[in-house]
């Protein structure tokens, strides 16, 4: 496994490995890897001749009062997992390498970023769009792999790829969960024991919603209220949003709309804080019964 810390090292090593038109799979991350990342890395390794991982905590996607400085980092552990997953190249740039001077260019996706996390984290997806575009240009992958835990991010990146004509296949991948249902996240490490126990209400509420939508006469508004009520049983849960939207357009669904009459793909997405730790989760719902997390 080759570790590159500069753009020139990355380019040189990729050019050597890319001989004979070998395919490249790419997994961009902010590090502190867990099994969710591991599943993406294994998919990239299995489906491509070369697999590339980037580890970079991108300051451009953090707001002034967010957790940039304390975001968990463990390079040694990350490299061990990457090697176990068959990764060929790991790119770990510094801030100076990625942004040698303050960028004057932004990548703004209108519409898709005005709700959910975009509504409460202004500028977040502009930072995501910029760093992902930079990484796509540097790695030039054939396929890039993203977890559906952040379904809004996947929709935004798919839009960027389409609008800017990146010749890249975006591969959305299933949410990986703990045995009790909590979606894996690098930020789970922030939770104390009581918060960790309470956080299972997120996946529980999504599972219950999959059952509730099968009932006759369930509206979007009533479904959202039932989900909020269940989340509220957790002592420290502070709901930021619970929303039911069309996917991937992220257009809102009228609160009086009967869920069973919706034929398009819909997503139930939520963000909840436990103490200072903000967790997100979602489920793509099938109104004919069941759900699909991809």
| CATH number of 139's domain | 3.40.50.620
57: number of Cβ within 10 Å = 18
Beta bridge partners of 285: 266, 291
For residue 64, pLDDT beyond 90: no
Global pTM?
0.93
Average pLDDT, the chain: 94
What average pLDDT does the segment 83-98 reach?
98
Quick check: is 289 in a domain?
no
Whether residue 194 is found in the same domain as residue 111: no
- 169 and 190 both lie in a single domain: no
Which of 149, 173, 197 is where one domain is finished? Answer: 173
92-106 pLDDT, tens digit per residue, is 999 999 999 999 998
Which candidate, 139, 154, 165, 168, places its Cα nearest to that of 51? 139
Asked if residue 180 belongs to a domain, the reply is no
Say whether both 101 and 196 belong to one domain: no
Residues 167 and 205 in one domain: no
Would the pLDDT of 262 be above 80? yes
pLDDT at residue 259, rounded to an integer: 92
pLDDT tens readout for residues 38-60: 999 999 999 999 999 999 999 99
- Within a domain: 181: no
| Domain extent for 115 | 2-173
The answer, yes or no, to whether residue 253 has pLDDT greater than 90, is yes
Give the 3-state secondary structure of residue 189.
Answer: helix
3 state DSSP class of 278: strand
Query: Tell me, what CATH number does 273's domain have?
Result: 3.30.1300.10
pLDDT band at 289 (very low <50, low <70, confident <90, very high): very low
Residues 159 and 191 in one domain: no
| Of the listed ranges 37-46, 61-70, 106-115, the one predicted with least confidence | 61-70
User: Which pLDDT score, from 0 to 100, does residue 178 have?
Assistant: 96
Q: What is the pLDDT of residue 165?
A: 97
| Percentage of the chain lying above the pLDDT 70 cut | 98
Alpha-carbon gap, residue 294 to 287, rounded angstroms: 15
CB atoms within 10 A of CB 62: 18
pLDDT of residue 162 exceeding 80, the answer is yes
> Are 21 and 163 in the same domain?
yes
Asked whether residue 196 is domain-assigned, the answer is yes
In this structure, the answer to whether residues 152 and 193 fall within a common structural domain is: no
- Confidence class of residue 287 from pLDDT cuts 50, 70 and 90? confident
> Does residue 178 belong to any structural domain of this protein?
no
Same domain, 65 and 128: yes
Domains: count for the chain: 2
For 194-204, what is each residue's pLDDT tens digit?
999 999 999 99
Whether the per-residue pLDDT at 286 is higher than 90: the answer is no
Q: Is residue 291 part of a domain?
A: no
Active site residues: 37
In a domain, 107, yes or no: yes
190 lies in the same domain as 169: no
Backbone phi and psi for residue 188, each to the nearest 5 degrees, phi listed first: -60, -25
Do the domain assignments include residue 227? yes
Domain termination residue (choose one: 151, 173, 195): 173
Answer with the one of 117, 149, 173 that is the final residue of a domain: 173
Q: Which of 117, 195, 103, 187 is nearest to 156 (CA)?
A: 117
pLDDT of residue 294: 53
């Amino acid at each position: 496994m080759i570790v590159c810390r500069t753009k020139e090292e990355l380019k040189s090593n990729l050019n050597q490995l890319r001989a004979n038109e070998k395919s490249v799979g790419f997994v961009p991350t902010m590090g502190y890897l867990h099994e969710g990342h591991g599943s993406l890395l294994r998919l990239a390794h299995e489906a491509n001749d070369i697999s590339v991982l980037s580890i970079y905590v991108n300051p451009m996607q953090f707001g002034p009062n967010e957790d940039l400085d304390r975001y968990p980092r463990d390079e040694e552990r990350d490299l061990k997992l990457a090697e176990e997953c068959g990764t060929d190249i790991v790119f770990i740039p510094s801030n100076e390498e990625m942004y040698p001077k303050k960028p004057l260019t932004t990548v703004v996706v209108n519409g898709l970023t005005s709700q959910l996390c975009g509504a409460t984290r202004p500028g977040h997806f502009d930072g995501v769009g910029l760093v992902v575009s930079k990484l796509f240009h540097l790695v030039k992958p054939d396929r890039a792999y993203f977890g559906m835990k952040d379904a809004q991010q996947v929709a935004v990146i798919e839009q960027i790829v389409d609008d800017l004509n990146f010749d890249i296949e975006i591969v959305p991948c299933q949410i990986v969960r703990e045995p009790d249902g909590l979606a894996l996240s690098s930020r789970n490490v922030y939770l104390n024991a009581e918060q960790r126990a309470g956080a299972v209400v997120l996946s529980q509420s999504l599972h219950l919603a999959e059952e509730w939508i099968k009932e006759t006469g369930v509206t979007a508004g009533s479904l959202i209220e039932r989900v909020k009520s269940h989340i509220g049983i957790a002592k420290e849960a502070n709901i930021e949003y619970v929303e039911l939207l069309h996917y991937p357009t992220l257009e809102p669904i009228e609160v009086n709309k009967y869920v069973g009459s919706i034929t398009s793909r819909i997503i139930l997405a939520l963000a909840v804080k436990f103490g200072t730790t903000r967790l997100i989760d979602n489920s793509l719902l099938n109104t004919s019964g069941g759900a699909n997390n991809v």
